[in-house]
Amino acid sequence: MSRMPTPPADHQVDRIRRFNRFYTRQIGLLNEGLLDSEYSLTEVRVLYELAYRGPLTAAALGQDLGLDAGYLSRILRRFEGRGLIDRSRSAEDRRQVLVSLTDAGRTTFQPLDRASAAQVAAMLSGLSASERESLLQAVSTIERLLDPIRKPEEPYILRSLQVGDIGWIVHRQGVLYAQEYGWDESFEALVAEIAAAFVKAYDPIWERCWIAEREGEVVGSVFLVRHSPEVAKLRLLYVEPSARGLGIGRRLVDECIGFAKAKGYRTLTLWTNDVLVSARRIYQAAGFRLVKEEAHRSFGKDLVGQTWDLTL
């Protein structure tokens, strides 16, 4: 069941407004002409859409930009008077009038486009490579959260372990299990021990880690560890709340199963706790069977540990 949205707190609203003021000043949106030109931000954006997506109908242009029809009409009349745009009937539907840039329009837009790119390049040049990556991830997060209709070409990708992933996985699992189940810091310590042992003794022939990544952010992971020549262990499966519902958990488990079969393991085993209902459903759907249960006191909670096996 989805949770009802709650109104934002005053300090949250104030923080977003402060960012808006900062960024509009940062890229010069308060100047009368954008990029030292005679054109406003809206006018340059219209030129951009026509340069990269045109020809377009005025209705489509206004809808995509969220512009009032009358306001857009005045902009287009001004552009037409300056010879920057042309209007023509659509060959597919004669009822539609398409707006496109003329040669003069492209000549006007090109230096504005170059100036915009140079402005952003100058802004990024003062940042280190890691700072730029952090900024790009923050931008991706803003886009995803404020434009939920927008879908990336790929919902996520799976990749191998990279430097920095282990620390992130330990941090996120510690935080998430504390938030969702009230587990204490001893669980984070356990995750750190398992992850560190994997890296120190990693055997690429028999073991593997899969990282799920969406738009540059880690959103899930799983480890497959060699226990014996015939038995492999599935460990530390997790998926970020923001990425649940995309099938990432099942995909990660399927990758473990496929890899274990290809390597000739006879059994894939895992240990979990009965409160992890969503994960247990994934294991059951994949064919795992419960072989052992025992009550224990761990992570500050009374739990029931479970061992699940899959015969390969």
Q: Please give the DSSP secondary-structure letter assigned to residue 150.
A: -
How many residues comprise the chain? 312
Is there a contact between 272 and 281 (Cβ–Cβ < 8 Å)? no
Average of per-residue pLDDT across 261-272: 94
The answer to whether 82 touches 101, Cβ cutoff 8 Å, is no
**SS3 of residue 201 by DSSP:** coil
Per-residue confidence (pLDDT) for residue 170, from 0 to 100: 96
User: Is 156 strand, coil or helix?
Assistant: coil
Buried b (16+ CB within 10 A) or exposed e, 128-152: eeeeeeeeeeeeeeeebeeeeeeee
Distances in Å between the Cα of 149 and the Cα atoms of 7, 53, 138, 216 are 21, 20, 18, 19
**pLDDT band of 144, cuts 50, 70, 90:** confident
CA–CA dist 4, 36 (Å, integer): 46
Count of other CB atoms within 10 angstroms of residue 243? 19
> Long-range contact list for 17-26, CB < 8 A, 24+ apart?
26/123
Q: What is the pLDDT of residue 248?
A: 93
| 3-state SS, residue 42 | helix
d(CA 299, CA 296): 10
pLDDT above 80 for 31: no
Please state, rounded to an integer, the average pLDDT across all residues of the chain: 88
Mean pLDDT across the stretch 140-163? 75
Confidence band of 2 (pLDDT split at 50, 70, 90): very low
User: Which domains, from first to last, does the chain contain?
Assistant: 10-126 (1.10.10.10), 157-311 (3.40.630.30)
What is the 8-class DSSP label of residue 8? P
Confidence of residue 152 (pLDDT cuts 50, 70, 90): low
Give alpha helix (H) positions in the chain: 10-26, 41-53, 58-65, 69-81, 103-125, 129-146, 165-181, 185-200, 248-262, 277-285
> Would you call 213 helix, strand, or coil by DSSP?
strand
Task: Give residue-wise pLDDT tens across range 200-229.
Answer: 999 988 999 999 998 788 999 999 999 999
Between strands 85-89 and 208-214, the pairing is: unpaired
Distance CA 170, CA 173 (A): 5
Cβ-contact 33, 40 below 8 angstroms:
yes
Across the range 280-288, mean pLDDT stands at 94
Assigned token pair, 110: 């090109």
